[in-house]
Amino acid sequence: MAKKADLKEIDIKIQSMKKTAEELKQMGEDFPALYRNISRVLASIKMLELNISDVAGI
């Protein structure tokens, strides 16, 4: 089970992944296969935020 101390560490990695995904989304504006797939990746990253990031700061 993830301990409180781990949550911040996990969150840092989630934010790093989100930053990369957002950069890829910007690069994919004329590339549907990249843009649509990375949009779905961002939705999954949001689920990680709901499960971990939101509570990491509480």
Partner 1 sequence: MISEQKYWNPVLETLPHEKIRKLQLEKFKRIFSWAHERSKFHRGLYEKAGIKPGDIRSFDDIRRIPTVEKSMMRGIQRKDPFPYGDALCVPLEEVSEFRQTSGTTGQPVYQADTWQDWEWWAESWAFILWAQGYRPKDRVFLPFGYNVFVAFWAGHYATEKIGAEIVPGGVLDTQARILKIQELQCTAMMATPTYVLGMADTAKNKMGIDPRSLAIRKITCAGEPGASIPTTKKRMEEAWGAKVYDHAGATEIGAWCFECEAQSGGLHVNEAFFLVEIQDTETGEYIEEPGRRGKMIITALDRQAQPCVRFDSKDIIEWSPEPCPCGRSFRLIKGGVLGRADDITKVKGVLLAPSAIEEVVRGLDGLADEFEVIVDKEGDIDRITLKIEILKGREGERKKIEAQLKDQLRLKTNLGYNLEFHDYGTLPRYDVKAKRFKDLRGKH
Please give the residue ranges that form the binding site for partner 1 (CB under 8 A). Answer: 1-2, 7, 39-40, 42-44, 46-47, 50-52, 54-55, 58
Residue 27 Cβ vs partner 1, minimum distance, rounded to whole Å: 19
Residue 27 or 43 with smaller CB distance to partner 1: 43
Residue 46 Cβ vs partner 1, minimum distance, rounded to whole Å: 5
Rounded CA gap, 45 and 19, in Å? Answer: 10
- Do 50 and 12 contact (CB within 8 A), yes or no? no
- Do 35 and 18 contact (CB within 8 A), yes or no? no
